[in-house]
Amino acid sequence: MELTVTTLEGTANGSVSLSDGVFGLEPRADILQRMVRYQLAKRQAGTHDVKNRGEIRATTKRVGRQKGGGVARHGARSAPQFRGGGRSFGPTPRSHAFDLPKKVRALALKHALSSKARAGEIVVLEAAISKDGKTAELRKVFGGIGLENALIIGGAELDRNFALAARNIPHIDVLPVQGINVYDILRRHKLVLTKAALEALEARLG
């Protein structure tokens, strides 16, 4: 697949050929769904917590007589059935992450890239560089090339001015090539790759 390389000013600057082994697969929804679940589960904080019976400070004096009271024989106010008592089987801090094979994760990334290529939603930029680092100027530039909802992937090192200018623009995400992931690709309408990012991806996944 051939794509035109554009500059931030909107002018064409040659073309590049996308690798069929990375961008030419038939996207599988089941693999993409497994990867998205894996990412969302891994990012959960897992800090939910309640006090169980052993963490409640309450009197241990017997509530009533052992016999003859006509009610159950309770031995402590920390029991779950009392107001202020500990909760039974409540949530405790834990990790929600689960394992997913490395090969499946790499395959999911290829399928996400292929889905964007098949839909015609990949843009190849010559470079992602901002001279002045002004958000208003970069917003105008994005409007000129039709980027309203996009994930922009730069090289191994992002241009600092470009990253600072883009971070306050709604629906625009900027990541270095090593941070590319399936969830962020699928949640944005367009995927913007610099030439450096494209070369690094094909070397990594090809």
* DSSP per-residue letters across 11-39: -EEEEEE--HHHH-S---HHHHHHHHHHH
Instruction: Please answer whether residues 13 and 5 qualify as being in contact, where contact means their C-beta atoms are separated by less than 8 angstroms.
Output: yes
Counting every residue, how long is the chain? 206
Q: In angstroms, rounded to a whole number, what is the distance separating the alpha carbons of residues 167 and 190?
A: 17
Please give the pLDDT value at position 66. Answer: 86
For the chain, list the domains and their CATH numbers.
Answer: 2-44+98-205 (3.40.1370.10), 50-90 (no CATH)
At 73, list the tokens: 């024989």
Which pTM was predicted?
Answer: 0.84
Q: What secondary structure letter does DSSP report for 54?
A: G
Which residues lie closer than 8 Å to 43 by C-beta, 6 or more apart?
Answer: none
Mean pLDDT taken over the chain: 93
**Which tens digit of pLDDT belongs to each residue from 119-163?**
999 999 999 998 888 999 999 999 999 999 999 999 989 999 999
Q: Which helix (H) or strand (E) holds 175?
A: strand 172-175
Over range 34-49, report the average pLDDT.
96
Instruction: Please answer whether residues 126 and 195 qualify as being in contact, where contact means their C-beta atoms are separated by less than 8 angstroms.
Output: yes
Over range 58-67, report the average pLDDT.
86
The separation between CA 22 and the C-alpha centre of its own chain, rounded to angstroms, equals 21
Q: What three-state secondary structure class fits 197?
A: helix
- C-alpha distance across the termini of the chain, in Å: 15
Over range 13-29, report the average pLDDT.
92
